[in-house]
A and B are shown apart, each in its own frame.
Chain A
């Protein structure tokens, strides 16, 4: 099961990243668990400076952008 974490303080971009990621995960049909990380200290622990960011299984894959579901699918596969 993939652990997906959306890192961001809760602005529209972070919500959009969460939506796009959900869409991508559902289209792929992968088993996933999604968590929104909003605490700044926790975000720092990932080494992320520019939100929003996406981490899959603990590894940061996207920083500072909101890609389309199609691009996110490649990272989740």
Chain B
């Protein structure tokens, strides 16, 4: 009986809570109404600017990485017998390939530590992995600008090696004892010539880059010429991709032809709105791969899995960021003055606070981007922005608890402190170089 009461009690508490929130909803208060509008504006901006041209190609690329790049061959370098220098290097960049699904980061970290190359490379992977996943870098570069995108990638990789080495040094005496369990490796994939894979990825990346080529400031020069030609180049790469998929990846050319025709048709009917043709191409590719078996079907399955998992969370993140911080240049629920006071400029305290916030706050994949965008628009400095982008994905209160259950108290405290300190340092350096 008591269990029933407890369960019903929780439901009652929830109903009362929601009722009170609705009862006291400050509708009509200027700041609240404005925040709601800002939230909706931001969501629409994301839907219009980023989802079709940027996120969808990025999902396909992430899916392709997951399916076509042999994780086993990367894991070789993180094994117990791998040369240490190589292990650190590979650990710091392999996040792009291995950590496409954020849930594998913790098991991989534990595995590399206990059965593989050791604590140093494992913590390097733990720090950089979540920060350099393909989707995060793409969206960061697109929304926050290429400087922050590159700084995030470079900072994550560079400082991960530092953190790994420091952890190894501090705990080297305990490192002696490690399990001799033979790690179970994923199956070796059927080898496709590396150059074919390279062309395939290059074409998809080119489509992503050119479809999103921004309008440069000047009216002349190479950048501007590329901007004018961007859709022609994108179309050319798309044709190339169709050919590659038919010749090397076994996609039936009938399906590819159908997709190409519908895309071309929309391009001709609506030449001023290339987004429509692009959408047709994306939908066509989805249908063509979804209805195929084998690798193409698997590629679609993984891509669709990412979309299902990430889009709802991103939507929620954008709504919250919009409500709290407003669009760039506008205010949400949180006054811009507060943000500027706390994390404006490039001072040590601003960077440190941003780093600390990032370490404790939980960010679902990609949600750190709209939140940082809102913060920058409300007055956060670029240095603290980078600090948050580096510390944010690596840690959160829930993940700290899991890391604690794996590594124990001392190592967890040292790791978290290193993350905060080094992210602060990275932020200050970037802020000084890029100008707050």
A contact residues vs B (CB 8 Å cutoff): 8-14, 16, 40-41, 43-51, 53, 60, 63-65
5 pairs across A/B with beta carbons < 8 Å? A9-B103, A40-B106, A44-B179, A48-B111, A49-B107
Q: Which one, A10, A14, A41, A65, contacts B186 given CB within 8 A?
A: A65
- Total contacting residues, chain B, CB less than 8 A: 30
Does B75 make an interface contact (CB < 8 A)? yes
Q: Which residues of B contact A45 (CB under 8 A)?
A: 181
Contacts between the two chains (Cβ within 8 Å), count: 78
**B143 surroundings in chain A (CB, below 8 A):** none
Q: Is B115 part of the binding interface, using a Cβ–Cβ cutoff of 8 Å?
A: yes
Instruction: Report the bound CA distance from A45 to B107 in whole Å.
Output: 12
A9-B106, A12-B305, A12-B309 known; A44 vs B115 contact (CB < 8 Å)? yes
Docked Cα-Cα span, A14 to B102, in Å, equals 13
**With A12-B309, A40-B406, A50-B108 already in contact, 20 other A-B pairs whose C-beta atoms are closer than 8 Å:** A8-B107, A9-B107, A40-B107, A44-B107, A44-B111, A44-B114, A44-B181, A47-B182, A49-B107, A49-B108, A49-B110, A49-B184, A50-B75, A50-B104, A50-B107, A63-B185, A64-B71, A64-B104, A64-B186, A65-B187
Identify the B interface with A (CB < 8 A).
71, 75, 98, 101-104, 106-108, 110-112, 114-116, 179, 181-187, 305, 308-309, 402, 405-406
- A13 contacts across to B, CB distance below 8 A: 101, 103, 305
Bound CA–CA A14/B239 (angstroms):
36
Q: What residues on A are CB-neighbors of B185 within 8 Å? A: 63
B67: nearest chain-A partner, CB-CB: A65
6 closest residue pairs by CB, A with B: A49-B111, A11-B103, A64-B186, A47-B184, A60-B184, A63-B186
With A and B bound together, what is the CA distance between A44 and B102 in angstroms? 18
Whether the pair B115, A49 counts as a contact (CB closer than 8 A) is yes
CB neighbours (8 Å) of B309 from chain A are 12
Q: Within 8 Å CB of A14, what residues of B?
A: 103
C-alpha spacing A47/B184, complex, angstroms? 5
Instruction: Tell me the smallest distance from the CB of A13 to a CB of chain B, in Å.
Output: 6
- Whether the Cβ atoms of A47 and B115 lie closer than 8 Å is yes
Across the interface, name the chain B residue whose C-beta is closest to A11. B103
Rounded to whole angstroms, the CA-CA distance of A60 and B135 in the bound complex is 31
Of B103, B112, B305, the residue contacting A49 (CB under 8 A) is: B112
Q: Write the chain A residue with the least CB distance to B301.
A: A66
Residue of A nearest to B101 (CB): A13
Expressed in whole angstroms, the Cα–Cα distance for A53 and B104 within the complex equals 11
Q: Which residues of A contact B98 (CB under 8 A)?
A: 50
Which chain A residues border B184 with CB–CB below 8 Å? 46-49, 53, 60, 63
Grouping DSSP codes into helix (H, G, I), strand (E, B) and loop, the A interface class, with mixed when no group exceeds half, is: mixed
| Bound-state Cα–Cα, A63 to B111, Å | 13
Please, how many angstroms separate the alpha-carbon atoms of A53 and B183 in the complex? 12
Asked if B71 and A50 sit within 8 Å, CB to CB, the answer is yes
Contact of A11 among B101, B182, B183, B402 (CB under 8 A): B101
Q: Is the CB of A40 within 8 A of B405?
A: yes
Please give the distance in Å from A17's CB to the nearest CB on chain B.
Answer: 12
Docked CA distance A50–B98 (Å): 9
Shortest Cβ distance from residue A2 to the other chain B in the assembled complex, whole angstroms? 19
Per the bound structure, the CA–CA distance linking A66 and B181 in Å amounts to 24
- Residues on the A chain within 8 Å of B108, using CB: 49-50
Whole-angstrom distance between the alpha carbons of A9 and B104 in the complex? 8
Bound Cα distance from A45 to B114, whole angstroms? 10
CA distance A30 to B181 in the complex (A): 31
Q: Which residue of B lies closest to A65 (CB)?
A: B186
Q: What residues on A are CB-neighbors of B110 within 8 Å? A: 40-41, 43-44, 49
A54–B110 Cα distance when bound, in Å, is 18
| Residues A47 and B101 in contact in the complex (CB < 8 Å), given A12-B309, A40-B402, A40-B406 | no
- Residues from chain A with Cβ under 8 Å of B181 in the complex: 44-45, 47
